[in-house]
Amino acid sequence: MKLALYQGPSPAGDPDAAFTAIEGKLLVSAAAGADMVVFPELFLPGYNQPQLHASLAQPQGGPWAARLSALAKSANCGLTIGWAEREGKHLYNSASVFDARGQRLAHYRKLQLYGEMERSVFVPGSDYVLFQLGGVRGGLLICYDVEFAQHCRALRELGAELLLVPTANPSGFEHVQDILLPARALETNMTIAYANYCGQDGELSFGGRSLLVGPDGNDLASAGHSETLLITDLNDNSDIDPLRVSAQLKDFREASGTHDQL
């Protein structure tokens, strides 16, 4: 399976610009043989656009979803993307996965809302989702979610082997890529795809450095700070040293009790 990660600027509240980017990157990725492209968090309509999230958010099955499905089918390439979802009076920071036929494989609502902006606009989701992609069991998280070992472990215990993560990680938070993502991948034996923005969105600066981490905690592909399309063959794991693969899931033992000796 070939996976693509798109790292680019935020559409900054312009859905037409977002769809232009989506279509172009799908076509390029498909021509390179990619099966799936992962875009950043809230790519529709852009992350740092709280004043527009409510007015532009759409329901599941709405025009955005129909257009995303059609673009994936036309390009013959799958698509994972973050977007602002409305259900009744509630707004969700969501992500959807479409396959190369345009069929929706999964829809997920972010569990761990981050910061004042997100918490003032969205309500948190409540459920994990899993899906099949090219014979691989996949799971979805969004940005801050993946920083919690509990969520990654729960998805692994549900059978996930591949974790797709649309994200909007600002500059100054590179510890996520340097420390947390390798740790999450290694301790769960999962491959993690982390697609970030680069450039500015209003006063917010994004750090780029999108990353694909293998189950041994090593990078399979990584981006710098500028616009990039990473395309990587996930089947080429022949160089992974079996001794580097963690046995934590198998070896873990729970304590039987607590003794306060103070």
User: How far apart, in Å, are the Cα atoms of 123 and each of 84, 142, 226?
Assistant: 11, 14, 31
- What tokens does 15 get? 């859905």
The active-site residue, picked from 2, 41, 85, 118, is 41
DSSP E strands: which ranges in 8-69? 36-38
Four-point Cα dihedral 23, 24, 26, 29, nearest 10: 180
- Please tell me whether the peptide bond between 50 and the residue prior to it is cis, using omega within 30 degrees of 0: no
- What tokens does 6 get? 């798109």
The active-site residue, picked from 25, 110, 147, 152, is 110
C-alpha–C-alpha distance, residues 211 and 190, integer Å = 14
The active-site residue, picked from 25, 77, 85, 143, is 143
> Catalytic site residue 41?
yes
> Catalytic site residue 198?
no
> Catalytic site residue 203?
no
Residue numbers annotated as active site: 41, 110, 143
